[in-house]
Structure 1
Amino acid sequence: MNRPWTDVLHHWRAIELDFDANGHDLESGLLDSRSWRWLKLRIDHYASTPGTHLWDALHPKAG
Structure 2
Amino acid sequence: MSEPTNLHRGPAVPLLWAVLTVAVLLNVLASAGVLPLAVGIVCGLVTLGCATALVVARVRRR
Name the TM-score class by shorter chain.
0.3 to 0.5
Give the TM-score normalised by structure 2. 0.33
Which of the two has greater helix per residue?
2
Highest CA radius of gyration, 1 or 2? 2
